[in-house]
């Protein structure tokens, strides 16, 4: 989730690049850089950490900067290589610079080939191959357009790319596939950015590039090398709206982003024969016999979901604990246990302290985290980044999705190295994982349905969210979403446990949200819901199969794997909570009494 900007024009290039990067800083902030191209050559500035460090560096070193009509900039969310200055973009060749958002999946093959041809690499990034490939093809063809086309042809993966070169110094070459890129124009100026926000106040019209579109731009306009569906749109003028990309709340935007971040999370990790995590060394699991997961809130729910998958697919014992409980129970820790912490922010005090306890007891530790360079990632032996991008809504949404995906991938990774998963099952799981981004694309009818249903569920004496197996932690997560933004009482419960007490509460004012997947224990959950219906509880069923006893019904799509149903139901639960909260007039993004990052005990 990096951010990129570009500029061609006669005004202040540096100012547009820096202002633009500020708007995109939410996409990543472990390092940043710009490159400026003018008659006197190329100047570049890079700095580790927040953008302010880059600004200071430019102010100190750029007192006599030349006037530059062309420039590109980048703010980084590390995927390949640590957040260092060398790994910061723009990446340079002998006479060209590139910025890139996304992941080049075949970078290793390309890099090996270029190295064998005598090219030296400076960084550990996947991005650097782009600039060397371009220069290699340019040497052969002596034609920048041809060289850029051949470069794009060679890349697999997701990218939004801007490239500048002294060989054609008035131009920016651009390409988009899978990562966002917008081109803006005003009189005699062309702008590039990863979202609308940097362009407001600068461009009057914009094009939202489609996947597969690439070409070049100069002061006279844009030329596409690909087929294109170029349509200029008027640019909205509200910054606030632009940051939310037109959505009413950050939470809503983040719910809708889940398909994109799921792709980012899996990029480069799913191979034909299994899962690959560059971060984990080959012998890391040699002496590991079981796993303990520790986390808080939504991250704890992801951990619980993961525990089912780790046992089922990884064939490894797994326990999950709430971090604040773990800390004070004087736990007995075993050196053959892998201690896994999960955290969106990487700063949650209870989770961090639990991690330190495990580390001090000599356990191997692994963090699943969204924020690189956060306290938790600095303590853990290994970190698997979730790559969800910055999550602004206090109610966590896309973080949960990516945490669950990482745990699912980890289960398959362990299953493979421990030889406990057969190839047919592994192949089916890999195929299903690849389906997740499609399933997370939100069908407007589900959102409409949640809006309509929200009217009905405002009053009553409480909600039970029920499910079985992985749908039990999903029920917990659904209930947490609802209570934190609507302030209504909600509980998540294992469906089979209702008859052991809570069913005493059943009456028409008790709302039951029943998660009824087709592919996992359908008959069991059906019986549990029938018991509640017989006692007059109001039932809202979420299922692909019609259920005649339901008072309300959210119909999900038929599919062949329970985890696809899991993600589709997750979206329905998130949208339902949001719509109820909106109807109650609450602040969806900043609910009362809560904070995004809980750095106190
Ligand atoms: O940053 P973390 O994932 O460690 O945060 C843990 C919880 O504070 C967090 O998940 C909280 O429960 C969210 N508000 C839930 O939406």
From residue 493, alpha-carbon distances to 57, 133, 466 in Å are 54, 55, 5
Best probe residue, ligand 1, of 297, 388, 492, 581 (max atoms within 8 Å of C-beta): 297
Report the C-alpha gap between 367 and 294 in whole angstroms: 10
**Token output for 71:** 């420039």
> How far is 58 from 346, CA to CA, in rounded Å?
30
299 CA from centroid of ligand 1 (Å): 6
For position 1, what pLDDT does the model report? 64
Residues 477 and 454: their CA atoms lie apart, in Å, by: 18
Q: What is the pTM of this model?
A: 0.74
* Nearest-angstrom CA–CA distance, 280 and 278: 6
Do residues 248 and 240 make contact, with C-beta atoms less than 8 angstroms apart?
no
Instruction: For residues 274 and 433, give the distance between their C-alpha atoms in angstroms, rounded to a whole number.
Output: 11
Element (DSSP H or E) covering residue 295: strand 290-295
Of all atoms in ligand 1, which is nearest to the CA of residue 397?
16
Q: Output the CA 348–ligand 1 centroid distance in Å.
A: 8
CATH topology of domain 2-240: 3.60.20
Q: 57, 239, 356, 596: which is the annotated catalytic residue?
A: 596
Residue 481 alpha carbon, nearest atom of ligand 1: 16
| CA pair distance 587, 591, nearest whole angstrom | 5
Ligand 1 close to Cβ of residue 574 (< 6 A):
no
Task: Please state at what angle helix 444-454 crosses helix 562-583, rounded to 10 degrees.
Answer: 40
Contacts from 501-509 at CB under 8 Å and sequence distance 24+? 502/464, 503/531, 503/532, 503/535, 505/461, 505/462, 505/464, 506/532, 506/535, 506/536, 506/537, 507/535, 507/536, 507/537, 508/536, 508/537, 508/538, 509/459, 509/460, 509/461, 509/538
Determine if ligand 1 sits within 6 Å of the CB of residue 484: yes
pLDDT value for 64 = 58
Helix axes 398-417, 423-439, angle to 10 degrees: 170
Give distance in angstroms: CA of 300 to centre of ligand 1: 8
Whether 324 is in the pocket of ligand 1, judged by its Cβ within 6 Å, is no
Measure the CA–CA gap between 98 and 34, rounded to whole angstroms.
10
Ligand 1 center to 597 CA (angstroms): 7
Residue 85: per-residue pLDDT: 87
Where are the domains positioned within the chain?
A: 2-240, 243-441, 443-589
Question: Do β-strands 490-494 and 462-467 pair in parallel, antiparallel, or remain unpaired?
Answer: parallel
Which residues lie below 8 Å from residue 153, measured CB to CB, with a gap of 6+?
none
pLDDT in tens, 72-86: 999 987 777 778 889
The predicted pLDDT at position 195 comes to 81
Which pLDDT value is given to residue 105?
87
pLDDT of residue 167: 95
Which residues are registered as beta bridge partners of 382? 366
Cβ–ligand 1 distance for 403 under 6 Å, the answer no
Q: Are 290 and 318 in contact (CB under 8 A)?
A: yes
Atom from ligand 1 closest to the CA of residue 395 = 16
Mutate to test the pocket of ligand 1, among 299, 368, 383, 589 (most ligand atoms within 8 A of CB): 299
Strand order in the sheet with 221-224: 91-92, 96-104, 157-165, 172-177, 213-218, 221-224
CB of 348 shorter than 6 A to ligand 1: yes
Query: Which parts of the chain have pLDDT scores under 70?
Result: 1, 26, 28, 63-66, 237-242, 596-597, 599-601
**What is the position in ligand 1's atom list of the atom closest to the CA of 298?**
10
Q: Give the atom of ligand 1 at the shortest distance from the alpha carbon of 376.
A: 4
* Same fold for the pair 2-240 and 243-441: no
Regarding the beta carbon of 296 and ligand 1, being less than 6 Å apart is answered yes
**For ligand 1, is residue 345 a contact (CB within 6 Å)?**
yes
Task: Determine which residue's CA is closest to atom 12 belonging to ligand 1.
Answer: 297
Q: How far is CA 474 from the centre of its chain?
A: 19
Q: How far is the CA of 396 from the centre of ligand 1 (A)?
A: 6
- Please report which helix (H) or strand (E) contains residue 58, including its range: helix 51-61
Whether residue 395 has its Cβ less than 6 Å from ligand 1: yes
CA of 309 to the centre of ligand 1 (A): 21
**The ligand 1 atom nearest the CA atom of 399:** 3
Q: Which two tokens stand for residue 191?
A: 């702008």
Q: Report how far apart, in Å, the C-alpha atoms of 534 and of each of 505, 516, 529, 549 are.
A: 13, 17, 9, 9
Active site residue 596: yes
Which residue from 250, 293, 294, 298 has its CB within 8 A of the most atoms of ligand 1, so it is best to mutate?
Answer: 298
Ligand 1: centre distance to CA 400 (Å)? 9
Radius of gyration of the chain (CA): 25
Residue 351 near ligand 1, beta carbon < 6 Å = yes
Q: What is the DSSP letter of 170?
A: T
Q: Which CATH superfamily is domain 243-441 in?
A: Glucose-6-phosphate isomerase like protein; domain 1 (3.40.50.10490)
Residue 2 appears among annotated catalytic residues: yes
**Correct CATH for 443-589 of 3.20.19.10, 3.30.450.80, 3.40.50.10490, 3.20.20.80:** 3.40.50.10490
């Amino acid at each position: 989730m990096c951010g990129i900007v570009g500029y061609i024009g006669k005004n202040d290039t540096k100012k547009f690049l820096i202002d633009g990067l500020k708007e995109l800083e939410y996409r990543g902030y472990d390092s940043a850089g710009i490159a400026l191209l003018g008659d006197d050559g190329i100047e570049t500035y890079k700095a580790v950490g927040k953008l302010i460090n880059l600004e200071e560096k430019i102010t100190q070193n750029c007192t006599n900067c030349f006037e530059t009509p062309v420039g590109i900039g980048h703010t980084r969310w590390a995927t390949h290589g640590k957040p260092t200055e060398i790994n910061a973009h723009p990446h340079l060749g002998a006479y060209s610079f590139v910025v890139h958002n996304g992941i080049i999946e075949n970078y290793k093959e390309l890099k090996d080939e270029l190295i064998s041809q005598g090219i030296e690499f400076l960084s550990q990034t996947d991005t650097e191959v782009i600039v060397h490939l371009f220069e290699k093809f340019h040497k052969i063809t002596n034609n920048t357009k041809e060289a850029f086309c051949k470069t794009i042809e060679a890349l697999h993966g997701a990218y939004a790319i801007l490239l500048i070169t002294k060989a054609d110094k008035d131009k920016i070459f651009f390409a988009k596939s899978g990562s966002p890129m917008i081109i803006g124009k005003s009189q005699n100026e062309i702008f590039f950015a990863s979202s609308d926000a940097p362009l407001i106040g600068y461009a009057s019209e914009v094009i939202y590039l489609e996947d597969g579109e690439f070409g070049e731009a100069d002061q006279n306009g844009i030329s596409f090398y690909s087929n294109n569906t170029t349509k200029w749109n008027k640019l909205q003028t509200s910054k606030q709206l632009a940051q939310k990309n037109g959505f009413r709340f950050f939470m809503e935007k983040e719910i809708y982003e889940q398909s994109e971040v799921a792709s980012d999370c899996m990029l480069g990790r799913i191979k034909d024969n299994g899962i690959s995590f560059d971060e984990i060394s080959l012998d890391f699991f040699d002496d590991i016999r079981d796993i303990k997961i520790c986390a808080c809130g939504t991250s704890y729910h992801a951990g619980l979901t993961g525990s089912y998958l780790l046992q089922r697919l990884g064939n490894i014992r797994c326990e999950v604990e709430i971090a604040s409980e773990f800390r004070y129970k004087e736990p007995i820790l075993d050196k053959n246990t892998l201690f896994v912490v999960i955290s969106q922010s990487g700063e949650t005090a209870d989770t961090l302290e639990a991690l330190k306890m495990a580390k001090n007891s000599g356990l191997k530790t692994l963090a699943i985290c969204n924020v690189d360079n956060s306290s938790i990632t600095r303590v853990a032996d290994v970190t698997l980044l979730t790559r969800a991008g910055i999550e602004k809504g206090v109610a966590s949404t896309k973080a949960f999705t990516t945490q669950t995906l990482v745990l699912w991938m980890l289960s398959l990774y362990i299953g493979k190295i421990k030889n406990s998963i057969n190839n047919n099952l592994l192949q089916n799981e890999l195929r299903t994982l690849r389906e997740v981004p499609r399933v997370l694309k939100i069908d407007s009818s589900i959102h409409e349905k949640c809006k309509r249903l929200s009217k009905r569920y405002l009053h009553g004496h409480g909600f039970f969210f029920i499910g079985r197996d992985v749908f039990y932690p999903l029920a917990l997560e659904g209930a947490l979403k609802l209570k934190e933004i609507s302030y209504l009482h909600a509980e998540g419960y294992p469906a089979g446990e209702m008859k052991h007490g809570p069913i005493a509460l059943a009456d028409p004012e008790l709302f039951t949200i029943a998660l009824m997947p087709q592919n996992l224990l359908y008959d069991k959950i059906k019986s549990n819901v029938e018991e509640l219906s017989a006692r007059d509880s109001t039932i809202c069923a979420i299922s692909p199969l019609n259920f005649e006893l339901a008072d309300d019904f959210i119909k999900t799509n038929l599919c062949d794997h329970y985890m696809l149903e899991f993600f589709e139901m997750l979206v329905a639960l998130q949208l339902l909570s949001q719509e109820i909260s909106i109807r109650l007039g609450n602040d969806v993004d900043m609910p009362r009494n809560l904070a995004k990052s809980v750095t106190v005990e």
